[in-house]
Amino acid sequence: MNDAPALLDARDVTVRFGGLVALDGVSLGVPEGAIVGLIGPNGAGKTTMFGVLSGLVRPRTGTVHLAGHDVTGASPQRRARLGLARTFQRLELFEELTVREHLVVAYRVGRRHPAVRLALDLVGLGSRPLPGEDDTIDGILELLGLTRIAPVPAATVPLGTGRLVEIARALATRPRVLLLDEPSSGLDANETAALAGVLATLRRERGISLVLVEHNVEMVLGLADIVTVLDFGRPIAHGTPGQVRTDPAVQAAYLGTTS
Amino acid sequence: MTTYIVTGLVVGSVYAIATLGLVLTYASTRIFNFAHGMLAFFLGVTFYELVVDHGWDERAAGLVTVFVVAPLLGVFLWAVLFRSLADTPPSVRLVSTIGLFVAVPALTKVIYGHEQRDFERPSVVFSPPHQYRWLDVPIDSDQVAILSAAIVVAILMTVVIRFTPFGLAVRATVDAPRMAGIVGFNTALVNAGAWVIGMMLAGVAGVLLGTYRGFNEVQFTFLVLGSFAAVVIARMHSLPLAFGGSLLLGLAQELSKSRQVQDALYDVIDRDSSWSVVVNNFPACIPFVVMIVFLLAYRGLGRERFSVDTRAAAEPELHATDERHLPLWRRLLPIAVLLTGVLLAPVYLSGLWQSIVAKGLALAIIFLSITIVTGEGGMISLAQITFAGVAAAITADFATNKGMDVLLAIPLAALIVVPIGMVAALPSLRLGDLYLGLATLAFALLVQYTYFNVPSVRNFDDGVRVPRPQGFGEDTPFFYLLAALFVVVALVVRNIKRSTTGLNLSAMRTSETATATLGISIVWSKLAAFAISAFVAGIGGGLYATYGRVADPDQYNVLIGVVWLAVVVTWGVRSIAGALLAGLAFAVFPQLVAEHLTGDGWQELPTILFGLGAIGLARDPQGVVHQVVYGHRDRRRKREARRRARQVEAVAAT
């Protein structure tokens, strides 16, 4: 469908858990600066696909390429350093850290040689912000409307805010591709609309490619350039939001009618 | 050779009986009973006392121990301890049973007295044992009894697990603990039942091992180690693997005593070199070797195969005390008080007491290594004392044998310990608290039975002399030196807490997954924490040796190290003040008891209290210091939360 080499490119990915086929020959290409939607009913394999993309799940067959590198067997750490970031459907916040510290941790990854950093940390110079750190972090906090709660411990923020903290943390690693796992779940209609605005801004102003896994089909169809629909681990439709919206197989999968 | 096979199977059978109890209780309750072997010791001694002191018939005593005392003990422990542990984080559960491990042998001594129980060996079958020959192999009635007991236990366990409602509930709990409760198994009853059976198996193992090898702690330490290695083989949940693994370990340990194996070992290790002690102590090294081999082999199979406990509790583990939320004067007040106290110490402390406090400060430095690895790194290490001991021995060698200045020898020795610490941690770093705890324990015992027994280190049981630093030999200067060094190390620890490394470790403690996806190397972060902690433990270990002016390996015994962990966790593993108070308590308290409470049993009091303190952690996972500083605030917050909840309910009701 796309001639330009995709920034993140998964091909023919198959994942089995015991006897269960979670993903069966799924391909997903994410061009530079695009928003790609991944939708499907419960149990379709969306979160598993995210696991494969971010390196937490090893596929049985298939390949994953990131920025031209084969990362099929690479660790999450290596993928992160190649510009991949993600959020989690079940929040994975660092409960003992403040909101701001989440961004600090993410920002400082790979900024110094580990040995140098450890040496600085031991003598007490490790708590100083890096050059540019404060500005970058303040910018992200403001973008996501988190400035006011920056000094609050993450354990105390409500679910919807927690999702924004996860996005902010991911952005602080300066990703080229951002994987968002159910970013709108737990948000009310206003918050969802605001989130959609933020995501559009991210792509427009920062050129970040986004991959969205969502229950909220309307939000995805409104935002995404390309949408892939999964059902029982198989890709059943692929195309622009307009094409997917009218696809009979998609309607059958969502409405449960036989086509 | 055949004799060793028989004794190997017999020893392995005792391990198997104990290990089955351990695995059963862990699999069904998710509490790893670190103290299982020590409870077997208690039950074994109970049997011995009934027979030797009270003149009971041996068989009656055996039956009463296994079928009356052991089940009662199981119910008691479940009711007062294990039940309340169910919903605590894994590390708290582990530390609580480590506390039990510390308290039980000491309590046993208080209850039954100190005597040696090696000379008389009451037997449940015939005493003295009858001798038989079977296929030309000599075998006695005790050995036959042990082998039969293992077979009977294996059959009974299979029947219970496969064919009874209790077994079904246990199997369900192994697979999905929470679901088992939801679908209607009475988990309380299942748990209590598991502890009863577990303690009965501990009782059988205790009576049989005592009969066969003597009722002393050393034999039971071997039982503890052997069953821990078997538990690793069983990946914490497989009963058949636990059984087979135990037999394998027993066989390996006994066979390593045979001439053939010893000769083969002497081909590798020069008989006259100082490392020939390795050959003598080879059986003690086997559990570590087996653990490492299986950990590495299982790692290849993938991490999900390990039954890593995902039932994470809602409350943060060994929670951070966030100093930043206190007003400035509250932060500075303790420091000012401490500083004044230290500077004026010679005014109100006698020379002896200055020296005791200095000892406490040296210990506090070692304890700071626990603050780093457990408090910051979130890992349970039982090898910190070993790092301290190795550094002390190296310091002694440098300072006394090679004539180096002791103030140079100590940091040098600490540096040498760093790679040792990393090697100890590496195989099990990613497998969670439990495996790391077991692997570091096994490593510590490996060092204890080999390096600490090298003649040049042991020096005829006296240890090698370590001079105090030039000019700091007297009590008062030595006290000031230790106080200053503690401050320096404490500052380093504080730096780490606040630094990027500290943030990364804190992030890792709550979500390894998210930390990894940010690009932070989990292994590197953990390894760094281990390396720093080994260095700090090394510094403390060297200084601790200069206090007594000798590097005596016996002072760095692993069992003492387990007590250390209990003490630090009791006072607060997350704070520098916790380490300081723990060190002072460990030095001062026994001295106070020795001066003021004379009489049999009192000298066990500190150990028992330290053990109970760690057990009490289940109630307050953050330690004594946190309780004192933040107790009122936490209580106020809880009250407010309750009040708000009531208001919400009231609104909802209208």
- pLDDT-derived band at B28 (thresholds 50, 70, 90) equals confident
Strand partners, A179: A86, A211
All residues of chain A having their beta carbon less than 8 Å from the beta carbon of residue B502 are 121, 126
Among A105, A117, A137, A179, the residue to mutate for chain B (most B Cβ within 10 A): A105
pLDDT at residue A100, rounded to an integer = 94
CB-closest option in B319, B499, B509 to A126: B499
* Residue A102's CATH number: 3.40.50.300
Give which of B371, B375, B369, B417 is closest to B392, Cα–Cα: B417
The residue-averaged pLDDT of B36-46 equals 94
Among A58, A127, A152, A211, the residue to mutate for chain B (most B Cβ within 10 A): A127
Give the SS3 label for residue A38.
strand
Our CA-based measurement puts residue A144 at a distance from the nearest CA of chain B, in whole angstroms, of: 19
DSSP string, B361-416: HHHHHHHHHHIIIIIIT----S-HHHHHHHHHHHHHIIIIIS---HHHHHHHHHHH
Our CA-based measurement puts residue B598 at a distance from the nearest CA of chain A, in whole angstroms, of: 46
Cβ-defined contact of A122 to B496 (cutoff 8 Å): yes
Structural domains for chain B? 2-128+141-305 (1.10.3470), 356-621 (1.10.3470)
Query: For all residues of chain B together, what is the average pLDDT?
Result: 84
* Bond preceding residue A183 cis, omega within 30 of 0: no
Cβ-defined contact of B519 to A110 (cutoff 8 Å): yes
Q: Is the CB of residue B517 less than 8 Å away from at least one CB of chain A?
A: yes
Q: Is the CB of residue B495 less than 8 Å away from at least one CB of chain A?
A: yes
**Distance spanning both ends of chain B, measured CA to CA:** 82
Give yes or no for a contact between B206 and B48, defined as CB atoms under 8 angstroms apart.
Answer: no
The torsion angle over the Cα atoms of residues B134, B139, B140 and B141, rounded to 10 degrees, is -50
Among B500, B505, B574, B644, the residue to mutate for chain A (most A Cβ within 10 A): B500
C-alpha separations of A166 from B206, B320, B521, B648 in Å: 53, 21, 19, 29
Distance, CA of B606 to CA of B593 (rounded, Å) = 8
pLDDT at residue B248, rounded to an integer = 93
Residues of A in CB contact (< 8 Å) with B are 54-56, 75-81, 85-86, 88, 92-97, 101-102, 104-106, 108-110, 114, 117-118, 120-124, 126-127, 153, 155, 169, 173
Q: Is B58's pLDDT higher than 50?
A: yes
Give which of A49, A41, A56, A1 is closest to A25, Cα–Cα: A49
pLDDT at residue B624, rounded to an integer = 67
> What HEC string does B472-523 produce?
CCCHHHHHHHHHHHHHHHHHHHHHHHHCHHHHHHHHHHHCHHHHHHCCCCHH
Cβ-defined contact of A121 to B519 (cutoff 8 Å): no
CB-closest option in B495, B514, B516 to A122: B495
Q: What is the pLDDT of residues B297-346, one digit of tens each?
A: 876 554 433 333 333 333 333 344 445 566 778 778 877 888 888 888 88
Q: What is the pLDDT of residues B195-244, one digit of tens each?
A: 999 999 999 999 999 988 888 888 888 888 889 999 999 988 888 999 99
The model's pTM? 0.87
- The one-letter amino acid code at B538 reads G
Q: Which residues form the domain of A61?
A: 8-255
Distance, CA of B388 to CA of B424 (rounded, Å) = 14
Cβ-defined contact of A105 to B503 (cutoff 8 Å): yes
pLDDT at residue B304, rounded to an integer = 38
Q: Is A225 exposed, middle or buried (0-12, 13-18, 19+ CB in 10 A)?
A: middle
Question: Chain B: residue nearest A124 by CA?
Answer: B495
Sign of the CA dihedral with A57 first, then A58, A61, and A65 last: positive
Do the domain assignments include residue A3?
no
Distance, CA of B606 to CA of B106 (rounded, Å) = 9
Among B518, B525, B573, B574, the residue to mutate for chain A (most A Cβ within 10 A): B518
Q: What is the pLDDT of residues B398-448, one digit of tens each?
A: 999 999 999 999 999 999 999 999 988 887 777 777 888 888 988 998 899
Q: Is B466's pLDDT higher than 70?
A: yes
Give yes or no for a contact between B401 and B619, defined as CB atoms under 8 angstroms apart.
Answer: no
Which ranges constitute the DSSP H helices of B30-68?
36-52, 58-64
Do the domain assignments include residue A150?
yes
Q: Is B370's pLDDT higher than 90?
A: yes
Our CA-based measurement puts residue A33 at a distance from the nearest CA of chain B, in whole angstroms, of: 21
Q: Is the CB of residue B3 less than 8 Å away from at least one CB of chain A?
A: no
The residue-averaged pLDDT of B624-649 equals 67
Q: What is the pLDDT of residues B502-513, one digit of tens each?
A: 999 999 988 888
Q: Is the CB of residue B641 less than 8 Å away from at least one CB of chain A?
A: no
pLDDT at residue B238, rounded to an integer = 86
Strand partners, A239: A227
Our CA-based measurement puts residue A104 at a distance from the nearest CA of chain B, in whole angstroms, of: 8
Our CA angle for A172, A175, A180, nearest 5°, is 90
Range of lowest pLDDT (A158-167, A225-234, B54-63, B88-97)? B88-97
Cβ-defined contact of B514 to A94 (cutoff 8 Å): yes
Our CA-based measurement puts residue B496 at a distance from the nearest CA of chain A, in whole angstroms, of: 6
CB-closest option in A96, A109, A120 to B518: A109
Q: What is the pLDDT of residues B98-139, one digit of tens each?
A: 889 989 988 998 888 877 777 777 887 777 778 887 777 788
Cβ-defined contact of A122 to B528 (cutoff 8 Å): no
pLDDT-flagged residues of chain A (< 50): 1-2, 259
- pLDDT-derived band at B621 (thresholds 50, 70, 90) equals low
Residues 6 or more apart in contact with residue B154 via CB below 8 angstroms: B16, B20, B243
pLDDT at residue A117, rounded to an integer = 86
CB-closest option in B495, B507, B528 to A105: B507
Q: Is B563's pLDDT higher than 50?
A: yes
What count of CB pairs under 8 Å joins A to B?
Answer: 112
CB-closest option in A81, A104, A121 to B519: A81
Give which of B610, B405, B519 is closest to A172, Cα–Cα: B519
Among A95, A133, A176, the residue to mutate for chain B (most B Cβ within 10 A): A95
CB-closest option in A80, A95, A155 to B519: A80
Question: Chain B: residue nearest A90 by CA?
Answer: B514
All residues of chain B having their beta carbon less than 8 Å from the beta carbon of residue A96 are 316, 319-320, 322, 506, 509-510
Among A57, A118, A123, A152, the residue to mutate for chain B (most B Cβ within 10 A): A118
Top pLDDT among B86 and B608 is at: B608
Cβ-defined contact of A124 to B513 (cutoff 8 Å): no
All residues of chain A having their beta carbon less than 8 Å from the beta carbon of residue B313 are none
To the nearest whole percent, how much of chain B has pLDDT over 70? 88
pLDDT at residue A106, rounded to an integer = 95
Cβ-defined contact of B511 to A109 (cutoff 8 Å): no
Q: What is the pLDDT of residues A34-89, one digit of tens each?
A: 999 999 888 788 889 999 999 988 899 999 999 999 999 898 999 999 999 999 98
The residue-averaged pLDDT of B537-560 equals 93
Among A88, A91, A92, A111, the residue to mutate for chain B (most B Cβ within 10 A): A92
Q: What is the pLDDT of residues B251-273, one digit of tens each?
A: 999 998 888 888 888 888 777 77
All residues of chain B having their beta carbon less than 8 Å from the beta carbon of residue A101 are 503
Q: What is the pLDDT of residues B483-494, one digit of tens each?
A: 999 999 999 999
Cβ-defined contact of B506 to A96 (cutoff 8 Å): yes
Give the SS3 label for residue A227.
strand
CB-closest option in B501, B509, B521 to A121: B501
CB-closest option in A76, A86, A92 to B511: A92
Cβ-defined contact of A97 to B506 (cutoff 8 Å): yes
pLDDT at residue B293, rounded to an integer = 86
Do the domain assignments include residue A1?
no
To the nearest whole percent, how much of chain B has pLDDT over 90? 36
Our CA-based measurement puts residue A247 at a distance from the nearest CA of chain B, in whole angstroms, of: 35
Our count of domains for chain A comes to 1
Distance, CA of B214 to CA of B121 (rounded, Å) = 7
Cβ-defined contact of A121 to B499 (cutoff 8 Å): yes
